[in-house]
Amino acid sequence: MKKLILVLLFCSTASFAQQDAQFTQYMYNPINVNPAYAGSRGVLSVFGLYRTQWVGLDGAPETSSFSVNTPVGNNVGLGVSLINDKIGPTNENNLSIDLSYSIQTSENAKLSFGLKGTGNIFKLDPTKLSTEDQGDPKFQDFKNKITPNVGAGVYWHSDKAYVGLSVPNFIETNRYDDNDVAIYKDKINYYFIAGYVFDLDGYETVKFKPAIMTKVVEGSPLQVDASANFMFNDKLVIGVAYRWSASVSALAGFQITDGLYLGYAYDRETTKLVNYNSGSHEIFLRFEFLNKYGRITSPRFF
């Protein structure tokens, strides 16, 4: 049954629109979807994340992400990121370079414009496919596909809020074409992100941050991620998240030192897939090299 589900999942992916790798804790490193985020925290920021999805289901998605971004001067940000995404017989690597330019819109707010350049390496292992016709030539000669792409985004942020619009990849790519029929397709992903940090009245040590991300991909349902996090004493973060018609999540984080933050999320499916897996786990570390004042220039928890 598990192998059957895997085949169905892969066929669905191949026949319709391929989506970018998804993260429950995207709000802590939006550079993966929006290049204008590069350098926005005002310090050199190093971020590493590992996600294992649908634990117990053979061939389920497994994603690793690593990125570094930093301001360069007063208005320019630079970032480099690598994402490895494994789903069943596929293994995809994306290496991106992000460049942003910011303008001051008020004393505590900036508007940033970003460009992303990406090199994609896509691998498909046909030995992991259960094909009806083992001699089908479509499944015999698979070569690694290396393709370039470009993206752009805009990101406004202050000490309390952020809003962003972005398209990480403008070029649609057909994988393994045969007589104009693509076995695997990459489609354009459109993102909107937003969040706000509230200082709760009467609770000086408690902050509340709701956030949202929407993603639109041709041929796939609208994805909406909504989250609500509470921060206590600028150290402990506890929250919940909901992915529309897909999953619910519990989130937790801890500011171990001034420059080191640890985050964890557990997702539980709300679809029929809940019967075939024990949930999804996601963990990340963010390390920041503090400035000469011993703190980040914008003390936010996004």
pTM of the predicted structure, to 2 decimals: 0.86
Q: What is the mean pLDDT of each run of 10 residues along the chain (302 residues)?
A: 44 49 92 96 95 92 96 94 92 95 94 97 75 59 78 95 96 66 73 94 87 90 94 94 95 94 96 92 93 51 64
Find residue 295's DSSP bridge partners. Answer: none
What are the distances in angstroms from CA 268 to CA 82, 248, 271, 284? Answer: 26, 5, 9, 18
Predicted pLDDT at 58:
87
Terminal C-alpha separation, the chain: 41
pLDDT at position 183: 56
Scanning the structure block, which residue is given the tokens 């059957």? 4
Q: What angle do CA 209, 211, 212 make, to 5 degrees?
A: 170
How far is it, in rounded angstroms, from Cα 253 to Cα 264?
6
**How far apart (Å, rounded) are the C-alpha atoms in residues 224 and 215?**
7
What's residue 232's pLDDT? 93
DSSP letter at 134?
A: T
Of the candidates 176, 196, 151, the one whose C-alpha atom is nearest the C-alpha of residue 34 is 151
Q: Which residues pair with 197 in a beta bridge?
A: none
Q: Which residues pair with 288 in a beta bridge?
A: 45
Q: What is the pLDDT of residue 3?
A: 45
Q: Which residues contact 228 (CB under 8 A, 6 or more apart)?
A: 208, 209, 210, 211, 239, 240, 241
Tokens of 191: 């993102």
pLDDT at position 13 is 41
Nearest to 121 by CA among 158, 78, 84, 153: 84
